[in-house]
Structure 1
Amino acid sequence: MSKVRIDIVSDVVCPWCIIGYKRLEKALFELKAEQIEAEIHWHPFELNPAMKAEGQNLREHVNEKYGSSEQASRSARETLTELGQQVGFDFQFNDEMRIYNTRKAHQLLMWAQQENRQFQLEMALFKAYFSDNKDVSDEAILLEIAQSVGIDSDTAKRVLEDESWAETVASTEQQWLEAGINAVPALIFNKKHLVSGAQQTHHLVQALREVAALEEE
């Protein structure tokens, strides 16, 4: 059995991050017969760390940040929706959708890792934002999501209010920036091999085979 550590640097409001993960999931399923398994760790990356509390209309945000026209933005959303369907994820984009700050979501995610609830919480946050159009910066909604994956709401509330967790998120993000990660998703295999972006499943299969072979040498 070959075990590959995979560190995933991502944000829960990044559509390519969930597409990239779902493609990775398919790649790992294909490799089961070859006895290649993964130990996955998620790490924070805020796409919009300075985003105001009320968020911003997603179309306006994309236009301001990337200069995309309304037609280009609509086309991109249609493409993402189709890609989501291909990997079994439901994107529900609409004209009123907003982009939010994700610092508090990442506080919960970092804490949840030590409780073995990180994966469930990560998936629930992607679904809450992209499928259910929920405000993932809202503390009440975050507590709801935490409860849905078996996290005690009082404990989650303490994590959300604990400034030391906010500082931990910020310092971790800074470490990734200093390591050269400035876009997500970013996958690091065995702490040495970087795969950037939402790569196609067959590329991930090949990369995982190569990494597993290197570890056996």
Structure 2
Amino acid sequence: MRIDFVSDVSCPWCVIGLRSLQQAIDAIGPDLPVEIHFQPFELNPQMVPEGEDIGEHLARKYGATEAQSAATREAIRQRGEALGFTFRMDKRSRIYNTFDAHRLLHWAEEQGPGRQRALKEALFAAYFTDGENPGSHELLLRVATGLGFDAAAVQGVLDSNAFAAEVRALEAQWQRAGIHSVPSLIINNRHLITGGQPPEVFEQALRQIAAEGEAA
């Protein structure tokens, strides 16, 4: 089973969605081999490099009051805690540009099985747990080399425009396919599931899709 996981590293619901999805896969067990491919989506493609205060950003983009934002942050924190992920809302004060992170993630997929996912999860932790800037070249280099990626190769990607065209093309492809929010999961190029669903919802959907495939 192929799952294209369309997401952004600055999307908290994408963390929740990935954790829930993995719990569902674990519950089903080895009888259902799954390949997850992370696809790029920028929540804020016009974001300036220095980022924007998160409160100001949410108020401007969604019209959210501070009370509404606080309630959403607490709901996200609780969902994350239940799934074994720590959201440190006190450390995440800004929204950043994530395009270079997507370029590096695109490159990471070419480095071998599991490499892209390891980088994705490390960037989630760097931003949501540690409050760091996922668009910073220093952070991207540090996180990637900490996972065993070659430092010179990583620096080469960051210092160039490598994979920019590929990432832009994929972003446009998913938008043309009707993907306008994340996380969005496209299963076997046919079935769409959106949002940070609970594990049992993902499990039921995966089992049903697998059964339909066997019956076909």
Is the shorter-chain TM-score for this pair beyond 0.5, marking a shared fold?
yes
Aligned twin of 1:77: 73
Task: State the partner residue of 2:20.
Answer: 23
Amino acid corresponding to residue 97 of structure 1 in structure 2 = S
Alignment of 1:1-217 (within 5 A): 4-32=1-29, 35-94=31-90, 97-116=93-112, 117-217=115-215
- Deviation, structure 1 residue 37: 2.4
Unaligned regions of 5+ residues in structure 1, if any? none
What SS does structure 1 have at the residue aligned with 2:185? strand
Cα distance in 2 for residues equivalent to 1:167 and 1:49: 14
Gaps of 5+ in 2: none
Distance 2:84 2:136 in 1: 27
The secondary structure found in structure 1 opposite 2:163 is helix
TM superposition shift of 1:164 = 3.9
Counterpart AA for 2:141: L
Asked if structure 1 preserves the Cα contact closer than 8 Å seen for 2:19 and 2:83, the reply is yes
Work out the percentage of aligned pairs sharing the same amino acid: 43
| TM-score normalised by the chain length of structure 2 | 0.96
User: Relative to structure 2, which stretch is displaced further, 92-101 or 66-75?
Assistant: 92-101
Which whole-Å CA distance do the structure 2 matches of 1:70 and 1:103 have between them?
28
* 1:109-155 deviation digits (Å, cap 9, x = unpaired): 00000102101000000000000100111111110011111111110
Secondary structure at the residue paired with 2:86? coil
Aligned partner letter, 1:161: D
**Distance in 2 between residues matched to 1:96 and 1:27, nearest whole Å:** 28
Amino acid at match of 2:147: V
Give me the whole-angstrom Cα distance separating, in 2, the residues matched to 1:83 and 1:95. 18
Contact 2:92 2:132 in 1 (8 A): no
Paired residues of 1:57 and 1:96 also in contact (CA < 8 A): no
CA contact (8 A) 1:59 1:95 kept: no
- Partners of 2:125 and 2:201 lie apart in 1 by 25
1:173/1:96 CA distance change after superposition, 3 Å: closer
Root-mean-square deviation (CA), in Å? 1.1
C-alpha distance in structure 1 between counterparts of 2:95 and 2:179, whole Å: 21
In the superposition, relative to structure 1, how do residues 30 and 162 fare at CA in structure 2: closer, same or farther (>3 Å)? same
Aligned CA distance change for structure 1 residues 207 and 69 (closer, same or farther; 3 Å)? same
Q: CA deviation at 1:160?
A: 1.5
Counterpart-to-counterpart distance in 1, 2:2 and 2:43? 24
What letter corresponds to residue 80 of structure 1 in structure 2?
I
